């Protein structure tokens, strides 16, 4: 099985070395290049055409967000995963607007890091824990809160299991993975797996698209 080829971009060499060691301890991932700023990251990505480009959000010369918005011009097939110490709404929403496939905090676990890389490599989106909650809350604010659904809207069945519908209802209410796991007395990983399956069945790429589809197609009624 071919390894997932990754390029790392961070302006701190120590951070890059640590991430490289963490990722390459897994046989399925190979770090094929590194960069110290966004501009260099684009040049390295153009030369090496990695599967995934991991970008620190704040770098000199060009930020990770700026690089993410331009990556399609240099490496059209490369997916971007933003890595940051910031969980504030502005950065998270900007990453979505810039085309990033995922957003991880630097204190994330090794397991979640590996899962994020696999998810974005396979064409999915990965926004962990509180990050997803920020996206949900932003959507709620933009909508002014969910309104009663007009009866003219069409109900669509996506063949969700009873548990998947239960978790979808919690996501719809703006709950983060940890809150859902605590409510159901399940592990966060179990909730994340259900969440991934829900999004795959409903053919959406992120939580905002998921919420819009739930509302437009009366999935929970």
Helices 177-184, 188-201: axis angle to 10 degrees equals 110
- Residue 99, classed as helix, strand or coil, is coil
Does the structure show a pLDDT above 80 at 167? yes
67: its two tokens: 């690089």
When the pLDDT of each residue in the chain is averaged and rounded to a whole number, the result is: 84
Which 8-state DSSP code applies to residue 36? S
Query: Which CATH code, of 1.10.10.10, 2.60.40.10, 2.40.30.10, 1.10.540.10, is assigned to 135-217?
Result: 1.10.10.10
The answer, yes or no, to whether residue 154 has pLDDT greater than 70, is no
Res 149 pLDDT > 80: no
Residue range 43-47: mean pLDDT, rounded:
97
- Cα Rg of the chain (Å, integer): 18
Beta-bridge mates of residue 33 = 7
Instruction: Look up residue 48 and give its two tokens.
Output: 């090496």
Which residue's structure tokens are 């990050």? Answer: 131
**What are the sequence ranges of the domains in the chain?**
4-127, 135-217
**Digit-coded pLDDT (tens) for 175-219:** 778 888 888 998 888 888 888 889 889 888 777 778 888 878 777
* pLDDT of res. 151: 42
pTM more than 0.75: no
Please state the rounded mean pLDDT for residues 26-40.
93
- pLDDT at 147 exceeding the cut of 70: no
Per-residue model confidence (pLDDT) at position 199: 85
The mean per-residue pLDDT over the stretch 36-45 comes to 96
Residues 84, 152: contact at Cβ < 8 Å? Answer: no
Q: Which of 49, 216, 44, 207 is nearest to 139 (CA)?
A: 207
Does the pLDDT value for residue 62 go beyond 60?
Answer: yes
Q: Which fold has domain 4-127?
A: Rossmann fold (3.40.50)
Chain centroid to Cα 8, Å, comes to 17
pLDDT greater than 60 at residue 152: no
Residue 134's pLDDT is: 65
């Amino acid at each position: 099985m071919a390894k997932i080829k990754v390029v790392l971009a961070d302006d701190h060499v120590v951070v890059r070395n640590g991430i490289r060691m963490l990722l390459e301890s897994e046989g399925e991932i190979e770090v094929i290049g590194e960069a110290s700023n966004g501009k260099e990251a684009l040049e390295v990505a153009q030369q090496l055409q990695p599967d995934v480009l991991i970008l620190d959000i704040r770098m000199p010369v060009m930020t990770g967000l700026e690089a993410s918005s331009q990556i399609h011009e240099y490496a059209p097939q490369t997916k971007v995963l933003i890595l940051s110490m910031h969980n504030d709404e502005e950065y998270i929403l900007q990453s979505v607007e810039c085309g990033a496939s995922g957003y991880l905090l630097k204190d994330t676990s090794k397991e979640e890091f590996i899962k994020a890389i696999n998810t974005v490599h396979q064409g999915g989106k990965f926004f962990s824990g509180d990050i997803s909650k920020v996206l949900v809350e932003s959507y709620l604010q933009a909508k002014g809160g969910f309104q009663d659904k007009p009866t003219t809207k069409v109900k669509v069945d996506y063949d969700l299991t009873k548990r998947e519908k239960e978790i979808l209802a919690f996501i719809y209410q703006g709950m983060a993975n940890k809150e859902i796991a605590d409510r159901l007395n399940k592990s966060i990983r179990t909730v994340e797996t259900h969440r991934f399956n829900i999004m795959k069945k409903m053919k959406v790429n992120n939580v905002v698209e998921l919420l819009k589809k739930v509302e437009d197609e009366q999935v929970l009624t």
